């Protein structure tokens, strides 16, 4: 029982070091168009890209969105600016891969939507509008289904 109590402060310390201040690591996995894993001090940390929502893997453009993020970030040095955790325990953050803002770039490439529910960086809307006007990425479809609606439909 004592061993468990010893781990609680250690876990709290790890969480504190991840939240707030930027930290760096190497991208070791890309799960989909808005989730990746960064190796930091020999620990794998799953990051959910903040303020965007990419198509689900089984949704139209889901695989292409994952490939886009992978081309940009896989194996690259990444800097993460975190704001906390989501309900699945993933770190929420803005991620720069080799100096490129991956969150913004996914929107610019038409590989993710601005996540209206959680957005604070209003400049992402201009990137989304440009991608839509140019029919870039998922915007080749005149009325693509946002992932939050797709998830709701596929829960049933």
Active-site positions read 48, 56, 90
Q: Please say whether the beta carbons of 18 and 91 come within 8 A.
A: yes
Query: Three-state SS for 102?
Result: helix
| Tokens encoding 34 | 């808005």
Residue 119, Cβ density class (10 Å: 0-12 exposed, 13-18 middle, ≥19 buried):
middle
Distance of CA 8 to the CA centre of its chain: 27
């Amino acid at each position: 029982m004592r061993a468990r109590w010893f781990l609680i402060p250690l876990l709290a310390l790890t969480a504190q070091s991840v939240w707030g201040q930027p930290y760096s690591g190497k991208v070791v996995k890309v799960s989909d168009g808005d989730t990746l894993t960064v190796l930091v001090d020999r620990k794998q940390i799953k990051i959910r890209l903040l303020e965007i929502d990419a198509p689900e893997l089984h949704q139209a453009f889901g695989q292409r969105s994952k490939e886009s993020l992978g081309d940009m970030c896989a194996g690259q040095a990444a800097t993460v600016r975190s704001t906390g955790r989501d309900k699945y325990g993933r770190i929420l953050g803005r991620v720069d891969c080799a100096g490129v803002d991956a969150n913004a770039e996914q929107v610019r490439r038409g590989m993710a939507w601005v996540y209206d529910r959680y957005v604070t960086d209003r400049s992402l809307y201009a990137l989304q509008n440009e991608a839509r006007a140019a029919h870039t990425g998922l915007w080749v479809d005149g009325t693509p289904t946002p992932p939050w609606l797709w998830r709701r439909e596929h829960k049933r």
